[in-house]
Structure 1
């Protein structure tokens, strides 16, 4: 059965169609005042034709440029702060927010969506072997789950770093280091980013890899159902709700944008109901706009834990470098 591979087939079509309706002009900003450039992470896959209303209202096309994973995107934006490569940035999350703020990247930072980074598991893999899926962080260090987990590198991957922070919040300072040493000894695979972890390593996705546990999102089961080659009534993947981290993504006008007024109009459009309602089935995140209605597939199959780890952005920024350096030393 084809699973998440369908996402990439659909995404390729969607992205191609969406960008077909967006500007592909290669001239400078000065040469094309009616083009606004939206920078986001690689997994930004807006719904087909979603910017048509914006173009009709403003006469401006939207050019989408992707800039790697969240960490890479923010790092590039800091380097070009005040002289940006675009007009609007979408997708700085709360694990990188303070870094972007200290780098003076955006004029303002407005929440645009929410999600939960959680462990996912392949139901069929565990059922076929008569093994109970993990239920806690601690379970991952047990011999039963040796060599079963793949996680994105926390250095540049937002979900990878979110999972690291969630484990730190769970075990506490002075104890989380030993936990990651145990995970290393238990054969955790560190993938380059979320895409590699989920679509290549994970056995429950299109890549049909050898790892039945992956760091992903509480909404991933809904994606599996939506893009399944055959209709499904239940999701083929599960979520370990005790391991979740609440992520909030932000949007804003890039400082130094040459199209600041138009850029702000695009930000307003991204926060309005139509775009917000498109996000659950295109970006698989929860809208921040309370008027937005969730689609049935999201209501039925996305998992939203009652509690998630939510450390302050100040705590994250204060400890980020120390946490990353310590993690790197463990995995050297």
Structure 2
């Protein structure tokens, strides 16, 4: 998830000061594990150091692009794995990772029946992926821009094709971005096979801008307070507006809750790791309340662990769609490549 607010542009090494370990003996824990993530992975300072304190194992975080690019890289390097654990595979790309054999069989034993709604079907990643966070991918709107322009805000997907919103929308590409793919899936669920292609043709005619990833769309082209662009409509998350809260408590952006697709992000052990047991410990740690309690304010998505707590007042701003668009993992798996090819032909002629 896909869900996003601190971009890691290079490898970040999280260490516990003064702690060093000799090379591990066969069967022992390693001195270091590599956690491969999408670019939007972020935790507060010191969180991963707690894992080091608990286990003696350092964690090296290696960013590998947006979620779609992350899965592609795992597939291309499966004979020489990039790391030991992956975070950031979501329900739109999970089946591809499983089919390509890039994940080992492991799901945290700490998952309880309360988290069952986030688990994938057995043949779509249910034996390899542990849910970590979830959020609704939705159109976000810059309230201040529309107020100053004197234009009514859109509400629905249909509204986005209205000429009065021409050149106002920016979206991440479905072929390279998990939020971009989630938004495509929302339109497919809304307009079905008979109408989604025509809908996208209308968006293109109405001047939609398509960026490679979420970061460019949100931080470069969106007009919100933390951004630098001039487009007041962007594909992001229903949980994005808390990030934009001003010192006086005003919330200058919002999410259009009738445009949302529900996304869950997962962690898993990478097939071929030399340290599967230690990698499993790191997956467990990502599911633990230590990490889960940090997720809302570090990545602005919802934790899935039922024991996690949200920051005070956060849930009042980070709205959840009552009726998000949903497509089953099996249907996504059966049609994803066809849908993406058709989308690319329309959106990137």
Scaled by the length of structure 1, the TM-score of the pair is 0.90
Shift of 1:53: 1.8
Shift of 1:298: 2.1
Aligned counterparts, 1:286-325, within 5 A: 286-325=302-341
In the alignment, which residue of structure 1 is the partner of 2:129?
109
Tell me whether 1:93 sits opposite 2:109 in the alignment.
Answer: no
Structure 1 contact 199–205 (Cα < 8 Å) conserved: no
- What do you get for the CA RMSD once the two structures are aligned? 2.4
The number of aligned residues is: 316
Structure 2 unpaired stretches of 5+: 105-127
Among 204, 209, 222, which residue is 1:184 paired with? 204
Structure 1 unpaired stretches of 5+: 1-6
In the alignment, which residue of structure 1 is the partner of 2:235?
215
Structure 2 contact 15–52 (Cα < 8 Å) conserved: no
Residues 158 and 143 (structure 1 numbering): CA distance in 2 closer, same or farther, change over 3 Å? same
Shift of 1:21: 4.4
What secondary structure does 2:293 align onto?
Answer: helix
| CA distance in 2 between partners of 1:292 and 1:206 (Å) | 28
Tell me whether 1:238 sits opposite 2:254 in the alignment.
Answer: yes
Q: Which digits, 9 at most, give the CA deviation of each residue in 1:253-288, with x for residues without a partner?
A: 111111111111111111111110000000111111
Structure 1 contact 200–206 (Cα < 8 Å) conserved: no
| CA distance in 2 between partners of 1:21 and 1:155 (Å) | 38
| CA distance in 2 between partners of 1:87 and 1:47 (Å) | 21
Tell me whether 1:172 sits opposite 2:195 in the alignment.
Answer: no
What secondary structure does 1:175 align onto?
Answer: helix
- Shifted more, 174-183 versus 292-301: the winner is 292-301
Tell me whether 1:74 sits opposite 2:71 in the alignment.
Answer: yes
| CA distance in 1 between partners of 2:151 and 2:25 (Å) | 61
Residues 82 and 250 (structure 1 numbering): CA distance in 2 closer, same or farther, change over 3 Å? farther
Among 221, 224, 227, which residue is 1:201 paired with? 221
Residues 55 and 221 (structure 1 numbering): CA distance in 2 closer, same or farther, change over 3 Å? same
Scaled by the length of structure 2, the TM-score of the pair is 0.85
What secondary structure does 1:216 align onto?
Answer: strand
- Shifted more, 106-115 versus 157-166: the winner is 106-115
Tell me whether 1:45 sits opposite 2:46 in the alignment.
Answer: no
Residues 143 and 163 (structure 1 numbering): CA distance in 2 closer, same or farther, change over 3 Å? same
Shift of 1:223: 1.0
Shift of 1:38: 0.5
Shift of 1:83: 3.3
What secondary structure does 1:112 align onto?
Answer: strand
